[in-house]
Amino acid sequence: MKRFFRDLLRSPWLQRALGVLAAEYLRLVWRPPRFSYDPANVYDLVEPAQPAIFVFWHGQHFMTPFIKTKESHRAKVLISRHRDGEFNAIAAEQLGIGTIRGSGDHSGAFHRKGGVGAFREMVQALGEGWNVATTADVPKRSRAAGMGVIMLARESGRPILPFAMVTSRFIRLKNWDSTTINLPFGRGAVVGIDAVIVPADADAETMERLRQQVETYLNEAPRRAYAQVGRPEAGLG
């Protein structure tokens, strides 16, 4: 019976159904809340920097497709090739976001998980004018920024833009990345932090300093966002 349900959950038709349902649910979450923006002119500041690398934490990703507010904001998101990522990919595509399949983990599993191909595809997408969105932390190391986004910024010459999108109503799971499931009929906040620029000739010391800066900014963004929706305690999750 266990194998039956496992195979059922992996079936393409169910994955597609879940992806479509997830997209419609997220549209419901996005519509009713009163979203605030920090800074208030965040899009005026961001647009001249595009195409850019938008980064966020694992587990805080469900609302990120709505960072795109115009059709001209062409965007692709990195999603794992793992079967569990399939319905996430379908949901993103339903919401008008392109997908790049692979891993941002630059550990020993980088090649096995399709990381090399995904990295090249992200560099190419940025070169063609697409924004790229990806988590900054790597699997099983929540809230610790990896070197992948720093390498991507150095290779592509594009800025890293850390951000957070939160809602006042949510469920937070007790898993490794504290996955947050946003709920409808609350308030919302979008917080963008200063861009991080990685020089093309950045050495190992510089890259490590900038990695720490990205990590600091990504911890600051949700704290500020949750404070704006009246849930300051949630920013520590």
Cβ 99 vs Cβ 130: under 8 Å = no
Closest-CA residue to 133 (of 55, 218, 50): 55
Tell the burial category of 142 from Cβ atoms under 10 Å away from its Cβ (0-12, 13-18, 19+): middle
55: phi then psi, degrees, rounded to nearest 5: -125, 150
Q: Which own/partner pairs from 183-186 qualify as long-range (CB within 8 Å, at least 24 positions apart)?
A: 183/29, 184/28, 184/29, 184/31, 184/32, 184/33, 185/32, 185/33, 186/32, 186/33, 186/229
The pLDDT score that the predictor gives to residue 1 is: 56
- Looking at the 3D structure of the chain, how many domains does it have? 1
Please tell me the distance from the alpha carbon of residue 97 to that of residue 50, in angstroms, as a whole number: 16
Cα 57 to chain centroid distance, Å, stands at 6
**Which pTM was predicted?**
0.89
Nearest 5°: the CA angle 209, 235, 28 is 115
Closest-CA residue to 227 (of 173, 169, 172, 168): 168
The pLDDT score that the predictor gives to residue 112 is: 46
The pLDDT score that the predictor gives to residue 72 is: 78
The pLDDT score that the predictor gives to residue 135 is: 93
Q: What is the CA radius of gyration of the chain?
A: 17
CATH of the domain at 66: 3.40.1130.10
Residue ranges making up the domain that contains 217? 2-236
Mean pLDDT by runs of 10 across the 237 residues of the chain is 57 84 94 85 91 94 88 88 78 94 59 72 97 88 90 97 96 91 94 96 97 96 95 79
The pLDDT score that the predictor gives to residue 216 is: 96
Length of the chain: 237
